Amino acid sequence: METLWKLNKLSKKYFIRGLTGAEEITALDSVEMEIFGGETFGVIGESGSGKTTLGKTMIRLVEPTSGEIYFKGSKITGMREKEFIKLRRSFQIVFQDPYRALNPRMAVGNAIMEGIREGAGRAQKKEKAGHMLELVGIAPERIDDFPHQFSGGERQRVAVARALSTSPSFMVCDEPTSNLDLSIQAKILNLFIELKEKLNLTYLFISHNIKIIEFIADRVAVMYAGRIAEYGSTARVLGNPLHPYTKLLVAASFFKKTETDKIPYKVEKQGCPFSRLCPDVREICRKEKPELMPAEEGHFVACFGFTNNFAEY
């Protein structure tokens, strides 16, 4: 498979001014991974683990503090805006809340037409917008309706149509179904799958629900405190988890605790961020951060434990 994205030691720190002075937040910490063209790459992790920052940094909505991002072999970190502008249209993001992408005072057809390339006439654009609506399962006759006239699920479909209007090849899907009723979630997930096939898309699919990731993702990265704890094919990572945090996630899901917030989350500042909660914690885990290492073909884990070399420590 073709490597579409390559992230090299990608880090993002935020500096905020709080009541007690300046505070530094590490949202991403040396993230290293590759995404293949045409796959759905899942990202799972607790709130605050850096999932959204990862997606936004990749498509340059957020500037990284350090590290490099390669897209189709070209380095896009540090690329001039003039050059990046050609790529900008091919990257899109769909948020949990479709109102973030839709102006409540604009008819949905107009919102979709905004994204369609200049050059086409208005009638042509409108026809295309209608086609986009059809593609996401909304009757094209509703082109002049406003966002509030749609149900939650329909509104998310419209937001997807708007995202598709720039003909993207890569889409960050940031928990796009977590605001929806369970019955509608499945329909929207199926829509994403269908669109990916029809339009040759690649997804970074963010969720804090292990069942959704299991259903939709070809490969998955498990994030903890801005770092990748483990990544590889979804079947291997969730079927044979190697990182103690992933093990906990998988075990909890057997008891129908499928959301990451059902799992304790306490970040240790020094050493491995999971060391405070880890049942297998060793001396070294409190001092050093484990790097991602290959555990088996295409399966990586950042844990001093997986090597079975505990005795050494």
Ligand X SMILES: Nc1ncnc2c1ncn2[C@@H]1O[C@H](COP(=O)(O)OP(=O)(O)OP(=O)(O)O)[C@@H](O)[C@H]1O
Closest CA relative to residue 207, chosen from 246, 249, 178: 178
Q: Which residues contact 109 (CB under 8 A, 6 or more apart)?
A: 126, 129, 130, 133, 143, 144
Length of the chain (residues):
313
Among residues 25 and 251, whose Cβ is nearest to ligand X?
A: 25
Residues linked to residue 26 through DSSP beta bridges, in sequence order: 13
Cβ atoms of residues 59 and 124 within 8 Å? no
Q: Examine residue 61 and tell whether it contacts ligand X (CB under 6 A).
A: no
Q: Examine residue 182 and tell whether it contacts ligand X (CB under 6 A).
A: no
Q: Examine residue 168 and tell whether it contacts ligand X (CB under 6 A).
A: no
Among residues 160 and 295, whose Cβ is nearest to Mg ion?
A: 160
Calculated CA dihedral for residues 197, 199, 205, 207, nearest 10 degrees: -70
Q: Examine residue 120 and tell whether it contacts ligand X (CB under 6 A).
A: no
Q: Examine residue 208 and tell whether it contacts ligand X (CB under 6 A).
A: yes
Q: Which of 4, 5, 7, 50 binds ligand X (CB under 6 A)?
A: 50
In what helix (H) or strand (E) does residue 235 lie, and over which residues does it extend? helix 234-239
Please, what is the minimum distance in Å from the beta carbon of residue 48 to Mg ion? 8
Q: Examine residue 49 and tell whether it contacts ligand X (CB under 6 A).
A: yes
Q: Which of 9, 23, 47, 88 binds ligand X (CB under 6 A)?
A: 47
Cβ atoms of residues 185 and 169 within 8 Å? no
Q: Examine residue 25 and tell whether it contacts ligand X (CB under 6 A).
A: yes
Local structure of residue 302 (DSSP, 8 states)? -
Among residues 14 and 313, whose Cβ is nearest to ligand X?
A: 14
Among residues 189 and 301, whose Cβ is nearest to Mg ion?
A: 189
By CB under 6 A, which span of 46-54, 84-92, 101-109, 284-292 interacts with ligand X?
A: 46-54
Q: Examine residue 313 and tell whether it contacts ligand X (CB under 6 A).
A: no
Among residues 44 and 238, whose Cβ is nearest to Mg ion?
A: 44
176 binds, among Mg ion, ligand X, none (CB under 5 to 8 A by kind): none
Residues linked to residue 15 through DSSP beta bridges, in sequence order: 24
Cβ atoms of residues 244 and 280 within 8 Å? yes
27 binds, among Mg ion, ligand X, none (CB under 5 to 8 A by kind): ligand X
User: What Å distances lie between residue 191 and 165, 179, 215, 235, CA to CA?
Assistant: 16, 16, 13, 22
- How many residues touch ligand X under the rule CB under 6 A: the total is 13
Residues that bind ligand X in the complex, under the rule CB under 6 A: 14, 16, 25, 27, 45, 47-53, 208
